[in-house]
Structure 1
Amino acid sequence: MIDELVRADSAVATCADAPVWALSEHDLIAVLDATHRLQQRLAAVQVAAVRELDGRGTAVAQGASSTAVWLRHRLRLDVSAARRLVGLAASLDVAPPTVREALADGAVSLDQARVIADTVATVSASAGPEVADKAVGVLVEWAARFDPVALRKLGTRILDHVAPEVADAAAAAALAAEAARAARDRHVTVSEQTGGRLRLSGTLDAEAAALLRAVIDPLSAPSGPDDTRSEGQRRHDALADVCRLALRTGELPENGGDPAQLVVTTDYDGLARQLGAGALDIGLGLTPDTVRRLACDAAILPAVLGGTGQVLDMGRQRRLVTGPLRRALVLRDGGCAFPGCDRPPRWCAAHHIRHWADGGPTSLDNSVLLCGHHHRHIHQSEWAVRLGHDGRPEFVPPAWLDPDQIPRRNHYHRRT
């Protein structure tokens, strides 16, 4: 299989260098169709490999919290794309062979295959495998004419075409299955962009969507005839208002032992002279005006920095890493420090590099932030953690994973 894929890779590389400008319009369309068909066939091979890796537990064995997280790091995918790939692999694994064959033949796309697999699973549960086999043929035929969204809508009434005698009873089951899919697929992704901005994306289930609209819609209405903000800008400002309101309630859960809060690091003299820029503890830069505005209605939480910007040690007498010491740890690590993990500080606990029971002090140079999964993994595996020459955490993999045991670092939380 690997030899065949290498040959295919070489053939595609040759095509990539070919001058498409010399092709006629008819040939260009033929190239588009051929590349799309090839893409689907390769996707079928990839999905089969993902399913096998997931079944073997390869990702967890190599220190990842899930196959999706491992794929994101291995293939440099967006985390939502990695989750979709794992979900599709699981769906096709239990789908009739006809669905996998259609994908391998290039007759359906990945998204269409997911819709067909989900629809057939619902039909099989409500009307039996024989009716499900009929549904597969109809859905594959429809896939030649309809995109995944339209195909899913048509699939809700597939029994009207293949088994009308049970269609009404199955419609209720289809609604329940759709609710289950919505619960499974719900997620929100927060991605860092340049300049300290964040990009939000995700899928909300019906209940969360209704809650969001109920909160956002009134706040995103134009404030008057002179309001020049776009619709998207008004929704952005409404979301910021909702977050401010939530912070002011005082009812948010505690964050690693501290109440929920914004922590801004800045130079006090610069702040007093209205010249000092600042940074949030999650690494986002703030203008001097923003720092001063936040200081008007938020507590100033001082962090003592060394000459190189390193947070100085704060407290050695306590076992629990809380208060100023935890804030110093968050400023240094930025989140879970295990290589490839993007868990933010609020999901992390402080790990003693040298265990407290072994005489290890509760100090900055003996602590590292780890999410729950990697905290357990460090305690239960052969990975070792230490601070590098620059005072940043680095992790030494076990010899079975890397015979050279070259130290690894987390680069997701780097700010410079």
Structure 2
Amino acid sequence: MNSTAALLDQVVADLGPVLRMDAPMGRSDAEKMDILRAAGEVQRLLDALVVETVASVDGRPEGPGEPSFAGRFGCRNTNELLQRVLRVDAAGAGRVVKAAKVVYRETELTTGAPLPARWPELRGALLDGVVGVSGLLAATGPIEQAGRRVGCEDRVRADAQLAAFARGCAIADADATTAESIGESGPPATPDDLRLFSQVIATYLDPDGAEPADDRAMRARFLSFGREKDGGIPVHGNLLPDAAGQFQRLLDAYNNPKVDGPAAPHASGVMFRPSDEDSTDDLRDSEDTPERDLCPAPYDSRTPGQKRHDALAAILTIAARHDDVPTLGGAAPTLVVSVTAEDFASGRGWAHVDGIDTPVPVSVAAHTACAGNVQRVLFDENGRIRSISTTDRIFNVHQRRAIALRDRECLIPGCHVRATWCEYHHVRDHAYGGPTHTDNGVALCWWHHRSLDTSGWEIRMNNGLPEIRGPAWWDPDRHWRYPQHLRSLQQAGAP
């Protein structure tokens, strides 16, 4: 029996041994390119077969009490059925359904004969394996968005031009509606090429659009959170230009481009000086010893995208404690982080952020209570509340202003994030008896606060003044040093 399904089963049976026994790994580059070319043709033809099959399915029940096509196979709708049988995600199944609507052919009422598709030339390109689902949707999408503002004749003309472009041909006559005036001109178009060409055509056919651009932008604005993926929460959105511009300015202010990392401690124009607790030999070394060859190591290996994330996290922390932010439950919006007392004490395990299903490392819970808009709740193994972080372990507004005035910016050398943008860190942790006092608090930006335990930078207080000891790649001698601006103040007040 030469059925379509039987032929496809034979293709599967033939490809299986090829992939298992005759892998492309040992082939030449030319042979690998031939494999990719042939596989692309097969893939596009399979796309066409899937789309045509879905287009032939009536999604509605045949009669009262009868199941739909998808219902006969235990699925709620065509999208779910495609997810299961094609093993694609919901978005992939949705693209197939959308493509099927493009090539769908209604039947003539009297004879039952199929009528031409809405996009007949592009449907032909699909059946010939010239375009796949991506190319078909890229070509038709911009014009379909115009809806009834593009007439039938204009759509048919655009269909012919787009199909010719997909095949690598040129339309000799701009008014042509058939393939008769098509001549060879170049390679077949990619989906991106088709999308751009379709957008140009749509601009000519619908120059004014559905509504002014600012109205469309206003209606299209949104912000949403996706499902957890690899421990992160995807964010999707469409910002208005003024909101995007303001956000970009905040990011620029936080991620100041002048930041190149810390200057070498032995270089001229030294940023830090050894504290009084260092030996005189250490002082002599820092003043008289020529600059050393330091171990090459990146100071800040974050990508631009990671820096933007960290800036947003800092902005949200600042905004949540601002007086103009609406209250929630009678208080400023508070992020609640829960963790078992045992995990918190051991430093291992997982914590949970209220409103987010994804667990976070317990180290996050250790850092969160340093910000005024985060509350930490400790549970025992039975779920009973053991303790709640309260405002007495959080630096109040007056203390934060004083620390910001003293530190001026993030305490880590080379980081110029202003102290007013920073979080305030207990040098001696509150859980181990560290007081919530200006003599025990320093300003750290969101990133350096989160990475302090693993970055190699150390902080201590000496008579109410902060000192920094850098990692060995920055300072092989690992001296404790005062910030440069504090040294300047001390020198100015010296007799």
Give the TM interval when normalised to the shorter protein. 0.5 to 0.7
Q: 2:232 aligns with which of 190, 193, 198?
A: 198
Using the alignment, how far apart are the partners of 1:188 and 1:104 within structure 2? 38
* 2:11 pairs with 1:8: yes
Q: 2:157 aligns with which of 101, 115, 134?
A: 134
Provide structure 2 residue ranges, at least 5 long, that are not aligned to the other structure: 61-67, 105-116, 169-187, 262-299, 385-495
Q: Once superposed, what is the RMSD of the aligned Cα atoms?
A: 4.5
Residue in 1 that maps onto 2:367: 293
Q: CA contact under 8 A between 1:98 and 1:136: conserved in structure 2?
A: yes
SS of the residue 2:206 aligns to: helix
Q: Which runs of 4+ in 1 moved over 6 A?
A: 174-177, 179-187
Q: CA contact under 8 A between 1:265 and 1:278: conserved in structure 2?
A: no
CA shift in 2, pair 1:63/1:25, >3 Å = closer
SS of the residue 2:208 aligns to: helix
CA shift in 2, pair 1:290/1:181, >3 Å = closer
How many angstroms does 1:34 deviate by? 1.9
CA shift in 2, pair 1:251/1:122, >3 Å = same
Using the alignment, how far apart are the partners of 2:39 and 2:358 within structure 1? 41
Q: CA contact under 8 A between 1:92 and 1:114: conserved in structure 2?
A: no
1:30 partner letter:
D
1:211 partner letter:
A
* 2:344 pairs with 1:234: no
Q: 1:214 aligns with which of 230, 236, 246?
A: 246
The correspondence of residues 135-214 of structure 1 with structure 2, limited to 5 A, is 135-143=158-166, 144=168, 145-158=188-201, 167=204, 170-173=206-209, 190-194=226-230, 197-198=231-232, 200=234, 202=236, 204-205=237-238, 207-208=239-240, 211-214=243-246
2:42 partner letter:
L
SS of the residue 1:171 aligns to: coil
Q: CA contact under 8 A between 2:251 and 2:311: conserved in structure 1?
A: yes
* 2:248 pairs with 1:225: no
TM (normalized to structure 1)? 0.54
Using the alignment, how far apart are the partners of 1:74 and 1:260 within structure 2? 45
Q: Deviations over 1:392-415 (max 9, x none)?
A: xxxxxxxxxxxxxxxxxxxxxxxx
Using the alignment, how far apart are the partners of 1:183 and 1:40 within structure 2? 36
Using the alignment, how far apart are the partners of 1:38 and 1:210 within structure 2? 47
How many angstroms does 1:139 deviate by? 0.7
TM (normalized to structure 2)? 0.47
Residue in 1 that maps onto 2:122: 99
Larger radius of gyration, structure 1 or 2? 2
The correspondence of residues 8-407 of structure 1 with structure 2, limited to 5 A, is 8-17=11-20, 18-20=22-24, 26-50=30-54, 52=57, 56=68, 58=70, 68=79, 71-72=82-83, 75-93=86-104, 95-121=118-144, 125-143=148-166, 144=168, 145-158=188-201, 167=204, 170-173=206-209, 190-194=226-230, 197-198=231-232, 200=234, 202=236, 204-205=237-238, 207-208=239-240, 211-221=243-253, 222-223=255-256, 224-226=258-260, 228=300, 229-245=302-318, 247-248=320-321, 251=326, 262-268=335-341, 271=344, 273=345, 275=347, 277-281=349-353, 282-296=356-370, 297=372, 298-301=374-377, 305-306=381-382
Using the alignment, how far apart are the partners of 2:141 and 2:38 within structure 1? 27
Q: CA contact under 8 A between 1:40 and 1:103: conserved in structure 2?
A: yes
Q: CA contact under 8 A between 2:139 and 2:162: conserved in structure 1?
A: yes
How many angstroms does 1:290 deviate by? 2.0
CA shift in 2, pair 1:240/1:80, >3 Å = farther
More helix by share: 1
Provide structure 1 residue ranges, at least 5 long, that are not aligned to the other structure: 161-166, 313-416
Q: CA contact under 8 A between 1:42 and 1:104: conserved in structure 2?
A: no
Count of aligned pairs between the two proteins: 292
SS of the residue 1:192 aligns to: coil
Deviates more, 1:226-235 or 1:76-85: 76-85
SS of the residue 2:189 aligns to: coil
